[in-house]
Amino acid sequence: MNRVVVTGMGAVSPLGNDLASTWDGIVAGRSGVGPITRFDATGYRTTIAAEVHSFDAEAHFPARDVRRMDSCAQYALVAAREALRDAALSDEAFADGLGARTAVVIGSGIGGMGTVTEQLRVLIERGPGKVSPYLIPMILPESAASMVAIEHGLRGPNMAVTSACATGANAIGEGVQMIRQGRADVCVAGGSEASVLEIAMAGFGAMRALSTRNEDPARASRPFDRDRDGFVVGEGAGILVLESLAHALARGATVRAEVLGYGTNDDAYHITAPEPDGAGATACMRLALSSAGIEPERVDYVNAHGTSTVLNDITETKAIKAVFGEHAYRLPVSSTKSMTGHLLGAAGALEAILCVCALESSTVPPTMNLEHPDPDCDLDYVPGRARQVAISTALSNSFGFGGHNVSLVFSRYQDA
């Protein structure tokens, strides 16, 4: 079975439109949450979100192409470009034959919903003859994966994974499996979401899933805090370049981390709520550790799903305790959603990238806004400030509506 490594990473996030600015914001504990600017949110229960800012689509694409792509695909393409540059993989290399051995697995939780909303208005106000001929390709969930493949000539397996808020992590895990099994040498994997939309905010608001701390946006996302009242919608993309170790070494690539393990399962309990005892999440983490071939004590850091919702934070804490036992109390656990908001289908991909950054820099990201710990959440959540800690192995959790669970295990690369 092939070993799988990370050789490139790219991001578009509420903290910046590249990985460097995103990671700098995480280490600084900066919040990307603010008042919604995408539309007039008057009358909405929640009027705040973690938007992507200063993203000029026409700086990245010809104006004609901008009209043919939903923002979800635009974010993915920009993050993929950065990841491929980081991996030192050129379109010329793909044209020389590598393209046929390069897979693309990029998912989205809600896909081109912004285009659906916009074109529905056109249909109602101006009639069917004015609907864009690009409507259907713009709204397909696999649009981002297809467009990344087209732009770079990637002719290997290509697909979109959709598993709610576990989407981005599932995409990475499925890419890992392809490489482990020898079906590809390289995989461009991750998730993208353009989710700060009227219909999305109204729907999540109707579920009472969102924070309504509208007067204090920067402090609204507060995972594991007693006073948390819901998650904050975020948007953006996270893309990784995965390679077989043999392929990466043969071309002299810089290895940023190794992917040791991948676990995925389902609670089979409820369409939105997690299983109260955390059994599904517990089993998922154990699957990932088994896939990695390591004992729980080997893990030095957990990037929690940590949504800032009452049920998720408690059940994830229970699951971590069940998996790690006494080690759980020595283990730094943090939620970067306290700064980025919840990127839905892109969350797991961005958080996997942040795990790799944590490994490289020996820096554990903080959980911001943890001011009054919930008595049921009694682990070390790294409150308020990033921490310098030697990290060799990190686990990233992603859980989604429908009971979808994913855990990924990353480690520093070692020769042996």
Quick one: DSSP state of residue 14? T
Better pLDDT: 255 or 416 = 255
pLDDT score at 415? 77
Select which of 72, 152, 165, 404 is catalytic: 165
pLDDT score at 56? 96
Rounded to an integer, the average pLDDT of 206-213 is: 97
Asked if the model's pLDDT at residue 416 lies above 80, the reply is no
pLDDT score at 48? 98
What gap in Å lies between CA 279 and CA 315, rounded to an integer?
9
What is the average pLDDT score of the chain?
97
349-368 residue pLDDT tens = 999 999 999 999 999 999 99
- What letters, b where the CB count within 10 A reaches 16 and e where it falls short, cover 292-317? bebebebbbbbbbbbbbbeebbbbbb
Asked if the model's pLDDT at residue 35 lies above 70, the reply is yes
282-296 residue pLDDT tens = 999 999 999 999 999
**List of E strands, 219-335:** 236-244, 257-266, 301-303, 333-334
165 is catalytic: yes
Select which of 152, 247, 305, 404 is catalytic: 305
Cβ(231)–Cβ(200) below 8 Å: no
Rounded to an integer, the average pLDDT of 73-89 is: 98
284 is catalytic: no
305 is catalytic: yes
Asked if the model's pLDDT at residue 195 lies above 80, the reply is yes
Rounded to an integer, the average pLDDT of 369-393 is: 97
Asked if the model's pLDDT at residue 22 lies above 70, the reply is yes
Taken in order of first residue, the domains within the chain and their CATH numbers are 4-250 (3.40.47.10), 261-409 (3.40.47.10)
Beta strand 236-244 pairing with 186-193:
antiparallel
163-180 residue pLDDT tens = 999 999 999 999 999 999
Select which of 284, 342, 357, 404 is catalytic: 342
